[in-house]
Structure 1
Amino acid sequence: MPKVLIADKLSAAAVAVFTTRGIETDIKVGLSKEELIEIIPQYDGLAVRSACKPDADVIAAADNLKVIGRAGIGVDNIDIKAATAKGVVVMNTPFGNAITTAEHAIAMMFAAARQIPAANARTQAGEWPKKDFMGTEVSYKTLGLIGCGNIGSRVAERAIGLKMKVAAYDPFLTEERAVELGVEKVELEDLLERADVITLHVPLTEQTKNVLSRENLAKTKKGVIIVNCARGGLVDEAATKDLLESGHISAAAFDVFAEEPAKENVLFGAPNFIATPHLGAATAEAQENVALQVAEQMSDYLLSGAVTNALNMPSITAEEAPRIKPFAALAEKLGSFAGQISDFGYEEVVIEYEGEVSDLNRKPLTAALLAGLLRASRGDVNMVSAPAVLADSGVKLTETKTEDSPVYDSLVRVKVKTKATKNSAEGGWRTLAGTLIAGKPRIVEVKGMALEGDFAPVMLYVNNLDQPGFIGALGQMLGEEKINIATFHLGRTTAGDEAIALIGIDSTPSGDMIEKLNALPQVRYAKVLTF
């Protein structure tokens, strides 16, 4: 039975999702890093919000961990790189709090435009400062969105309802989507010059960090309002203070800060500055939604392999999973086969999908194949870490698909270009192909030669010349070691030319026997494979 640690507060309904689906749960909130490291090896899943911080040290200790689920959108508290290297899926819930966060951004815009917090404080202090608070209307003004994805698009919808013009800077926003939303797609420079209000709705990455730098803030229209309900670090806080004091920025409203909790900040006390303590997702509806979603997503992954909203692995829906799973098993075995016969490292990997399999979600299949390939030489690699490991190694990866398959309904082929060595001319291409027959993985091609065979737990792979005496000599060697032959599959180019033998055997032969086998005049290459 899978076991999940809930390390931040989740609703009782979310906990019930785990338990009703047969997943054991422990709720331990407020653990220190040392306490978390001590107990994390017991768990298959870790559910968090923002307080628990599974960093590289925690993940390194998590020997059985398969998934980290973040109830919310931000994953700054999770070391995704360490999780990926460890093979741990990291999921978030980007849709559960989108409306809540969009509403907060709109509320902050209104509060800044009409200076509501300052007016409220002075009125309740016994003043009647009506003449000191001359606000500005937002209708018919231009709202500049930096980021027009899940949350930004909802802000756009509400701003358009307020009769605002909306200009959006987002490299991933298509012209078609912009038209659909009713926004104008612009470049950042244009947005800075034109916007009366700027709101941010992007994650904090190397590309977005300090996107509103001092230099960019100086390019904005005089009197601009800045609203940040996305992530601290997107806006230069010191520059914002200076421009508030000079009057260039008329007001700013921040829900997030570069360092949180923000008990102190350079912006505190600046004129016309409004602060809230990271309340973007703080509604009862949003908290319940994201908690339920993360529980469902983690349960689906642990029980069926379905992957939803993962940040370091291709998504696999619950509907896709039953169809993808057998092809993933085939891909993993083909990758393992290729890895075990590629003794000299890889320079290039080509994966070809033919027939019906080409219409499936191929990303998890490619990840499974690469996991099998790399595990032969790198050890503990899985579907999560394999694509990143290959990319880091500099090996070129090419993936192709063809709707037609000449012989089989579906075919997966892998080609691995191996490195030649100083003392060996064995570098070159290794080519394998397989399919599903009655739902089970089968080898159907090796080095361009057609042969159909099972993936036995232990196999002998022999590349030999098609000459008399080879099979007899091989049988005698196996007999002398008291090794039983379970299956025997042969393929060849033409009579007397190159051939392949795949022999399923019941136990592993000794190193001496493999040396003798390789010494036979007909044998070019022989190796034991395990699956």
Structure 2
Amino acid sequence: MKVIVTDEVSDSGLQLLEEDPRVSVDVRLKLSAEELRAQIGAYDAIITRSGTRVDRALLEAGENLKIVARAGVGVDSVDIDAASERGIIVVNAPTGNTNSAAEHTFALLLSLCRNVTVANDNLKSGDWQRAPFTGHELRGKTLGIIGMGKVGGRVARRARAFEMDVVVYDPYISEKRAEDFGVRLVQLDDLLRLADIITVHTPLNEETKGMIGPAQFERMKDGVLIVNCARGGIYVEEATLQALESGKVIGAAFDVWSQEPPDSDTLKKLIAHPKMVVTPHLGANTFEAQKNVAIDVCQEILAYLDGKPLTNAINIPRFDPDLMEHMKPFMALASTIGNFISQLAPPNPRKVTFTYSGQLARYDCTPLTVCGLAALLNRHTEREVNLVNASLIAREMGIEVEAVRTTETESYSNVVSLALETPTGKRVIAGTLFEGRPKIVKMRNFDTDFRPEEHMLVLSYQDRPGLIGKIGTLLGDAGVNIGNMNLGRREKGGEALVVFSTDSRVDEATIAEITAAIQPDYIRAVTLPK
């Protein structure tokens, strides 16, 4: 295998490849895009950092390219879709900087609590003062951690060593994982109310963007400290500035920003605020982290050569063609129900059971299990989850995964069921294929019959005359057009379940109006990939 290295990468990682007689490594730094395109066709793998843009043109020129290895977490510089289209695997190194990020969190927190930065500047200016820099101890304080992934877990362990009480909000981990770390799992509102110090360690996605805004600051203790070494944009920066100026937050330590380099007036004011300790996205900037990510991606290349699973593959690797052709429609079904239930189920799953019924059960259903699991978990972890690493990530999150096959089925030739067990109960969803497309045939204990669409609204309520009409009227008033409706119930006047497919997403304000009008037992908007 011929490997080209186009950015500065630690020699410790490259040594692994250079020692393997199957691998030839060429280091070609500072190539222009045109020069790289001219040379890439001779290589099987490319190792990059952020300095190289692996775009569609480069991938098309790489006629022998089999793997793109990004020595770091972010893959914004890689065209994932173009790589997938050409069967090129993309790997990154999402855990190599885990310790670095956790330690930087405490570097910022301790600097904030003990006024290190301002005291340093004061003393270097020739002054000698002590009283203005009186600080706060961590011992006895309650630390609220939002997100208990790899970094959040390390922060929790270090906080316990500082004799802090730790509360955690993460709806996608099991209670067992929290117990293993000696922390208490709580709801977000409880964390905001209890914590003296709050730190976030989540990915930035639709659910976490702006999750700490004016309403959340209002619920916090007066005099709270906040930290962000995760992703810019999780805290609403305008609201953060207001909270600092009002005294609600007496200190903040940020390493990341919604715009990097920061250029807006709000960010400039926030960075210049005297109660802020700031760094320019240094969470992964240690010599050790750079060495780790280099080793990680080089090990992935060797695993590929050895035919072993790739732990950190970003995109879906190729299956055996015969298996793929047979399983592809059912993989879409498993992915759909996994994605669907991930938006409906209670938090903190502890067990996931996939059941395959009918003729499908005669085949190896492992691709279906990992596909459904990847869809279930992919919204809720800082790592990209795919068919290769889904089982590993579930295990790390403390989630038990079981697959059951039975050739017996009642109404359909093939059924895929997913049961999700949480501390507050069990949720079940089942589907089949109709004309090659997924169809949901069961939710909880209700028989259903609908095709999943991009936008849906799911409600359960005590059946009473006129409620469907009220819901339709409120959706119409909000400019939301109903495409289809499926109603399930077990008895007259009992609990009913209704699923609307809509032409656009139902926003929170409309959900609040429907809730006030009909008092549903449950209501949730669902968005699925097109």
Cα deviation, residue 126, structure 1: 1.0
Name the counterpart of 1:299.
Answer: 302
State whether residues 327 and 368 of structure 2, in contact with CA within 8 Å, keep that contact through their aligned partners in structure 1.
Answer: no
C-alpha distance after superposition, 1:453-474 (max 9, x if no partner)? xxxxxxxxxxxxxxxxxxxxxx
Cα deviation, residue 10, structure 1: 0.9
Name the counterpart of 1:139.
Answer: 139
Cα deviation, residue 130, structure 1: 1.7
2:5 is the counterpart of 1:6: yes
1:366 to 1:285, Cα distance in 2 relative to 1, 3 A = same
Map 1:134-173 → 2, pairs under 5 A: 134-173=134-173
Name the counterpart of 2:65.
Answer: 65
**SS in structure 2 opposite 1:144?**
strand
Name the counterpart of 1:120.
Answer: 120
2:360 is the counterpart of 1:352: yes
Of 270, 273, 282, which aligns to 1:270?
273
Cα deviation, residue 33, structure 1: 4.9
Give me the whole-angstrom Cα distance separating, in 1, the residues matched to 2:73 and 2:188: 24
Give me the whole-angstrom Cα distance separating, in 1, the residues matched to 2:210 and 2:313: 26
Give me the whole-angstrom Cα distance separating, in 1, the residues matched to 2:237 and 2:144: 19
State whether residues 143 and 196 of structure 1, in contact with CA within 8 Å, keep that contact through their aligned partners in structure 2.
Answer: yes
**SS in structure 1 opposite 2:272?**
coil
1:155 to 1:365, Cα distance in 2 relative to 1, 3 A = closer
1:59 to 1:208, Cα distance in 2 relative to 1, 3 A = farther
1:33 to 1:122, Cα distance in 2 relative to 1, 3 A = farther
2:290 is the counterpart of 1:282: no
C-alpha distance after superposition, 1:197-225 (max 9, x if no partner)? 11111122222222223432333222111
Cα deviation, residue 25, structure 1: 2.6
1:254 to 1:157, Cα distance in 2 relative to 1, 3 A = same
Cα deviation, residue 147, structure 1: 0.8
2:322 is the counterpart of 1:333: yes
**SS in structure 2 opposite 1:352?**
helix
1:37 to 1:365, Cα distance in 2 relative to 1, 3 A = same
Cα deviation, residue 231, structure 1: 1.6
Give me the whole-angstrom Cα distance separating, in 2, the residues matched to 1:58 and 1:202: 32
Name the counterpart of 1:15.
Answer: 14
Cα deviation, residue 354, structure 1: 4.4
Q: Name the stretch that deviates more: 268-277 or 40-49.
A: 40-49
RMSD of Structure 2 on Structure 1 (CA): 3.9
Q: Name the stretch that deviates more: 30-39 or 82-91.
A: 30-39
Give me the whole-angstrom Cα distance separating, in 1, the residues matched to 2:214 and 2:359: 47
Name the counterpart of 2:130.
Answer: 130
Give me the whole-angstrom Cα distance separating, in 2, the residues matched to 1:170 and 1:419: 36
Cα deviation, residue 287, structure 1: 1.6
**SS in structure 1 opposite 2:159?**
helix
Give me the whole-angstrom Cα distance separating, in 2, the residues matched to 1:52 and 1:24: 20
State whether residues 37 and 62 of structure 2, in contact with CA within 8 Å, keep that contact through their aligned partners in structure 1.
Answer: yes
Name the counterpart of 2:98.
Answer: 98
Give me the whole-angstrom Cα distance separating, in 2, the residues matched to 1:363 and 1:33: 40
Aligned residues: 362
Name the counterpart of 2:186.
Answer: 186
Structure with larger Rg:
1
Give me the whole-angstrom Cα distance separating, in 1, the residues matched to 2:209 and 2:33: 27
State whether residues 88 and 384 of structure 1, in contact with CA within 8 Å, keep that contact through their aligned partners in structure 2.
Answer: no
C-alpha distance after superposition, 1:463-507 (max 9, x if no partner)? xxxxxxxxxxxxxxxxxxxxxxxxxxxxxxxxxxxxxxxxxxxxx
**SS in structure 1 opposite 2:360?**
strand
Give me the whole-angstrom Cα distance separating, in 2, the residues matched to 1:39 and 1:256: 36
C-alpha distance after superposition, 1:163-192 (max 9, x if no partner)? 111111112111111111111111222222
Map 1:432-511 → 2, pairs under 5 A: none
- Percent identity between matched residues is 38
Cα deviation, residue 292, structure 1: 0.8
Q: Name the stretch that deviates more: 163-172 or 231-240.
A: 231-240
Cα deviation, residue 9, structure 1: 1.2
Cα deviation, residue 35, structure 1: 5.0
Of 302, 308, 313, which aligns to 1:310?
313
The one-letter amino acid of 2:69's match is G
The one-letter amino acid of 1:289's match is N
State whether residues 115 and 133 of structure 1, in contact with CA within 8 Å, keep that contact through their aligned partners in structure 2.
Answer: yes
Give me the whole-angstrom Cα distance separating, in 2, the residues matched to 1:153 and 1:336: 40
C-alpha distance after superposition, 1:58-84 (max 9, x if no partner)? 546554433222223333444444444
State whether residues 370 and 387 of structure 2, in contact with CA within 8 Å, keep that contact through their aligned partners in structure 1.
Answer: no
Name the counterpart of 1:451.
Answer: none
C-alpha distance after superposition, 1:80-121 (max 9, x if no partner)? 444444433232223322222111101111111112101110
The one-letter amino acid of 2:276's match is F
C-alpha distance after superposition, 1:136-178 (max 9, x if no partner)? 2221111111110111001000101111111111121111111
Give me the whole-angstrom Cα distance separating, in 2, the residues matched to 1:292 and 1:19: 12
Give me the whole-angstrom Cα distance separating, in 2, the residues matched to 1:214 and 1:59: 44
**SS in structure 2 opposite 1:172?**
coil
State whether residues 143 and 166 of structure 1, in contact with CA within 8 Å, keep that contact through their aligned partners in structure 2.
Answer: yes
Give me the whole-angstrom Cα distance separating, in 2, the residues matched to 1:220 and 1:23: 55
State whether residues 173 and 185 of structure 1, in contact with CA within 8 Å, keep that contact through their aligned partners in structure 2.
Answer: no
Give me the whole-angstrom Cα distance separating, in 2, the residues matched to 1:51 and 1:173: 35
Give me the whole-angstrom Cα distance separating, in 1, the residues matched to 2:258 and 2:25: 34
C-alpha distance after superposition, 1:379-430 (max 9, x if no partner)? xxxx989xxxxxxxxxxxxx9753899xxxxxxxxx986579xxxxxxxxxx
What's the TM-score, normalizing by structure 2?
Answer: 0.60
The one-letter amino acid of 2:5's match is I
Name the counterpart of 2:522.
Answer: none
1:364 to 1:217, Cα distance in 2 relative to 1, 3 A = closer
State whether residues 46 and 68 of structure 2, in contact with CA within 8 Å, keep that contact through their aligned partners in structure 1.
Answer: yes
Structure 1 residue runs of 4+, over 6 Å off? 347-351, 364-367
Name the counterpart of 1:227.
Answer: 227
Cα deviation, residue 242, structure 1: 2.5
**SS in structure 1 opposite 2:226?**
strand
The one-letter amino acid of 1:313's match is I
Give me the whole-angstrom Cα distance separating, in 1, the residues matched to 2:216 and 2:61: 43
Larger RCO, structures 1/2 (Cα 8 Å, 6+ apart): 2
Name the counterpart of 2:198.
Answer: 198
Give me the whole-angstrom Cα distance separating, in 2, the residues matched to 1:366 and 1:159: 35
Name the counterpart of 1:208.
Answer: 208
Give me the whole-angstrom Cα distance separating, in 2, the residues matched to 1:363 and 1:4: 33
Cα deviation, residue 270, structure 1: 0.6
**SS in structure 2 opposite 1:268?**
helix
1:224 to 1:152, Cα distance in 2 relative to 1, 3 A = same
Q: Name the stretch that deviates more: 102-111 or 77-86.
A: 77-86
